[in-house]
Structure 1
Amino acid sequence: MTPNLLQAFAILSMLCCSTTAQSYNDTKTLINDLMGTYNKKVRPVETVSEVLNVSLTFYLSSIISFDEQEESLTTAGYLRILWKDRSLVWQTSQYNGVAMMFVPQDDIWKPDISLRNSFSTFTGLGSSYQNVIVENDGTVYWDPFQVMKSTCSVDITYYPYDTQECTIKLITWSYTKDDVNLLSHSGIIKSDYSESSTWNLVKSTFEVDNDIIASITYTLTLERKPRFYVFNMILPVILLSILNLFTFVLPLSSGERASYGITVFLSLVVYLTLVAAEFPKNSDTASHLAVWLIIMVSLSTLAVILTIIEARMVSRDEGNHPIGKYYRKFYGIVMYLRCKSCKKRVNRVESKVASSKQDIISSYSDEEFNPDLKWKDITDAMDYVFFLGIVIFTILITLILLLMLMFNADKVTGGYSSYEQ
């Protein structure tokens, strides 16, 4: 076959197989025909009594912020809203196969869906520059992207291992259940969701309510990521509480115990202020962490008070202020607890060998066998008891706090699968 015949055959094949392309004029004619008599103020139904079904799906993009002080949640995403507009139906054969067109959202009727629990301003969805997609059977697709700031009640009981449940309630502001019926089959879609650096989204649910006014309520269950708060808040406070324990290890004779205790007290108060700054001022619940900090501050205050009392006691003169029998009895009990009785008692009580606990305690609390007992010995015994008491109490309170926080964290993560719908 010659080249000229091949070229002629190729041109003939192109002409036979070509189809008529949709042109600009076809779409222009379609829009003019449909929009010429269109009234966006009228609900697009055949009869006034007909209820218009509007389907809504929320595509969550990100959690921008969660402000505990304001008790507000800011999220970003877009809504897939679709309905059938009976005034926007056409036959594709009449417009050269045009089956879809783009129309500015403000040029057609659309449901006035709004955020019911808005935190700041009340605004409609979308923007004037956004378009809607209209198919030839009248189906309208509206995808308004929105940054929504909604109110959210805060529960700080288990801070920083807390979970928060926040709702995003969307309603048709003007229409009742007899006009518009909201539907949702998918709830929140997280295919485009970007993970927050502060919160884990552990669960999301939705509820449709068309009793009086059509509404859809989305509920987000958020779990705080505690690592930042553990390293920058909890661990420093635990270390400060350990310093608080050693208040009674520092000798009274150094003259620095009171200033040491006050320094630890002020440090705990600073951290208490930092924690309180994270909490909402109108919260109805108290944080376990804040209660624990108050207990530590109270212990530090008590340590300073006891230090001042001991400093007053150690300066007493035994001649003017004899050591009473109750102090001696207390000293004897402490000596028994410190297990220093056996060897010293044999040297000081020659022929009397103690055969019981009461004998040991009596030998140290009896003035006859302890004529040189000083007020310094009493304060040393008090330091021993106070140190043991504050250590046991601090460890007990700290373990209770950590167990409560960890138990709540396990309960939350164990109750929900990752990104459960």
Structure 2
Amino acid sequence: MNATRCFALTFLFGSVISQSNINVQKLYTFLFTTHNYNTLIRPSRNQSVPLSVHVIFTLYGISGVDEIEQKLIATGWLDVEWTDELLSWTPSSFGGLKYIYYPQGKVWKPDISLQNGFSKLEELGSKFISVFIDSNGLVNWRPFQVFESKCDIDSTYFPFDRQTCHLDFVAWSLSNVDVHITKGGKGIQLAKDLQRHGEWKILSSSAMNLVESHETKVRFTIVIQRKPLYAIINYIMPILLLSILDIFTFKIPVDTGERMGYVITVWLAYAVFLTIISDSLPQTSESIPNVSIYIMIQIFIATVIVIISAIESGFTHLSDDASVYYLLSKLAKKFRKPSVQSESKCWDRAETCVTWKEAISALDKCLFWNLSCTELCQCQASDLCKNINTHLTDIDDDDDDDDDDDDDDDDDDDDDDDDDDDDDDDA
């Protein structure tokens, strides 16, 4: 008896599968053979009415940003939907079939392409991708692609900059009389498993419809911000420390002969950092990074320090009897500590004797404090110190948010485990 039942169920199950396969074959024949479906003909019964195509862009992640070539590399896929009036059927006539999948190259589809693409123009998707077709003729096409688009990089506030990049999709060979492209839903959305980039984070995204004289297109906008921690540690902090070394140049006695080598080394270090930053940013005159301007000012200051040190080095070799300039002599007297000094070498002068060594020492003290104030004001004026503090605070906040998200996920997992235990108890 059991064997008879198993045989009957197997026969019925095989009959259902066979019937479904036959219905699919009949539907394919009905749609693509009987009606002589042509992929070159726009699927509208009324060819005078433009076909509406809705596009949604799902961003999977930012693969990279090339500042020198001014290029954005984004990974994601498009959800393209339109109604193909030539691919509709009555489900009851084909065993209740409500949808099918068909290779993308064997149905009509709009020749959507990235208008502001960086590389050559090419067809979206791959040959193995199939489109979804339902009984009402609604076609859904989801091509996955690595999009390389042009992005104008504004490096003025490097490394605290944010960039706005666009991806413009248009039906390349079809005018707005034939196809009308619009955004679908929100237009752009982030994938649930969005891949994070080590240097850039996504701040916001938006989509808008654009209508021009002969075409319609959809523009997807992505606003990204640089994560500045790497640049702060490797570029900004060493530059700020070099500016401190500039200040302490005047604490090195000029008569030792070591000051010239010291200041020239600092000058060369500035030049190296300027070269490194220039090589990693667009070589354009439209936007000059503030950090490059800051380095140029530091190089100018270092050049002045080199000149002053060279002049002072020459004065240290003068004899003590050599007369000191009036202003330097007056400055030296203000910095001189009260002491009993021998005036044997100044017997013919009414005033106390001032040597070149004392004058240079007083000048170095004055330059030390003046340069300290100058460097502090310059740092505040260039917003470097302020931006460093702000972004380091933001990094701490982001870490706290990530920890909170992880805790929430752990709580959800614990809740799921508790629910499973309750279900086991009930069972």
Could you say which residue in structure 1 is the equivalent of 2:425? none
Q: In the TM superposition, what is the alpha-carbon distance from 1:325 to its structure 2 partner?
A: 2.7
Distance, in Å, in 2 between the alignment partners of 1:367 and 1:117 is 81
1:230 partner letter: I
Could you say which residue in structure 2 is the equivalent of 1:354? none
After TM superposition, the score normalised by the length of structure 1 is 0.84
Aligned positions, number: 384
Q: In the TM superposition, what is the alpha-carbon distance from 1:236 to its structure 2 partner?
A: 1.4
- Residues 333-355 of structure 1 show CA distances to partners (whole Å, capped at 9, x for unaligned) of 444xxxx3xx44xx679xxxxxx
Counterpart contact for 2:255–2:316, Cα < 8 Å: no
Say whether residues 1:217 and 2:198 are aligned partners: no
2:139 partner letter: V
Q: In the TM superposition, what is the alpha-carbon distance from 1:11 to its structure 2 partner?
A: 8.5
- Go from structure 1 to structure 2 and tell me whether the alpha carbon gap of 1:73 and 1:408 turns closer, same or farther (over 3 Å shift): farther
Could you say which residue in structure 2 is the equivalent of 1:188? 188
Could you say which residue in structure 2 is the equivalent of 1:399? 380
Could you say which residue in structure 2 is the equivalent of 1:230? 232
- Go from structure 1 to structure 2 and tell me whether the alpha carbon gap of 1:159 and 1:10 turns closer, same or farther (over 3 Å shift): same
Could you say which residue in structure 2 is the equivalent of 1:43? 42
Counterpart contact for 1:207–1:218, Cα < 8 Å: yes
2:359 to 354, 358, 378: 378
Distance, in Å, in 2 between the alignment partners of 1:75 and 1:109 is 27
Distance, in Å, in 2 between the alignment partners of 1:392 and 1:69 is 36
Counterpart contact for 1:156–1:162, Cα < 8 Å: yes
Could you say which residue in structure 2 is the equivalent of 1:298? 300
- Residues 118-140 of structure 1 show CA distances to partners (whole Å, capped at 9, x for unaligned) of 11211121122211111111111
Which structure carries more relative contact order (alpha carbon 8 Å, separation 6+)?
A: 1
Counterpart contact for 2:158–2:291, Cα < 8 Å: yes
Equivalent residues in 2 for 1:1-20, closer than 5 Å: 20=16
Equivalent residues in 2 for 1:7-406, closer than 5 Å: 20-21=16-17, 22-36=19-33, 37-183=36-182, 184-190=184-190, 191-212=192-213, 213-319=215-321, 321-335=322-336, 340=337, 343-344=338-339, 368-371=350-353, 373-401=354-382, 402-403=384-385, 405=387
Could you say which residue in structure 1 is the equivalent of 2:409? none
* Structure 1 segments unaligned to the other structure (5+ residues): 350-365
Distance, in Å, in 2 between the alignment partners of 1:312 and 1:17 is 105
- Residues 87-125 of structure 1 show CA distances to partners (whole Å, capped at 9, x for unaligned) of 111122222222222211111110111101011211121
Q: In the TM superposition, what is the alpha-carbon distance from 1:169 to its structure 2 partner?
A: 0.5
- Go from structure 1 to structure 2 and tell me whether the alpha carbon gap of 1:17 and 1:348 turns closer, same or farther (over 3 Å shift): closer
Counterpart contact for 2:250–2:365, Cα < 8 Å: yes
Distance, in Å, in 2 between the alignment partners of 1:96 and 1:282 is 65
Distance, in Å, in 2 between the alignment partners of 1:128 and 1:8 is 47
2:292 partner letter: A
Q: In the TM superposition, what is the alpha-carbon distance from 1:323 to its structure 2 partner?
A: 2.1
Counterpart contact for 2:71–2:149, Cα < 8 Å: yes
Distance, in Å, in 2 between the alignment partners of 1:89 and 1:367 is 114
Could you say which residue in structure 2 is the equivalent of 1:355? none
Q: In the TM superposition, what is the alpha-carbon distance from 1:253 to its structure 2 partner?
A: 2.1
Could you say which residue in structure 1 is the equivalent of 2:407? none
Distance, in Å, in 2 between the alignment partners of 1:387 and 1:141 is 71
- Residues 345-388 of structure 1 show CA distances to partners (whole Å, capped at 9, x for unaligned) of xx679xxxxxxxxxxxxxxxx952313x2111111111111111
- SS of the aligned residue for 1:42 comes to coil
Distance, in Å, in 1 between the alignment partners of 2:246 and 2:135 is 76
Q: In the TM superposition, what is the alpha-carbon distance from 1:324 to its structure 2 partner?
A: 3.6
Distance, in Å, in 2 between the alignment partners of 1:128 and 1:7 is 47
- Go from structure 1 to structure 2 and tell me whether the alpha carbon gap of 1:16 and 1:159 turns closer, same or farther (over 3 Å shift): closer
Distance, in Å, in 1 between the alignment partners of 2:25 and 2:8 is 32
Sequence identity, in percent? Answer: 29
Could you say which residue in structure 2 is the equivalent of 1:357? none
Counterpart contact for 1:202–1:222, Cα < 8 Å: yes
Distance, in Å, in 1 between the alignment partners of 2:302 and 2:11 is 95
* Structure 2 segments unaligned to the other structure (5+ residues): 343-347, 396-400, 402-427
Distance, in Å, in 2 between the alignment partners of 1:55 and 1:206 is 12
Q: In the TM superposition, what is the alpha-carbon distance from 1:18 to its structure 2 partner?
A: 11
Q: In the TM superposition, what is the alpha-carbon distance from 1:57 to its structure 2 partner?
A: 0.5
Distance, in Å, in 2 between the alignment partners of 1:189 and 1:67 is 23
Q: In the TM superposition, what is the alpha-carbon distance from 1:9 to its structure 2 partner?
A: 8.5
Counterpart contact for 1:169–1:216, Cα < 8 Å: yes
Counterpart contact for 1:59–1:192, Cα < 8 Å: no
Counterpart contact for 2:67–2:281, Cα < 8 Å: yes
- Go from structure 1 to structure 2 and tell me whether the alpha carbon gap of 1:333 and 1:326 turns closer, same or farther (over 3 Å shift): same
- SS of the aligned residue for 1:290 comes to helix
- SS of the aligned residue for 2:145 comes to strand
Distance, in Å, in 2 between the alignment partners of 1:283 and 1:408 is 28
After TM superposition, the score normalised by the length of structure 2 is 0.83
Larger Rg: 1
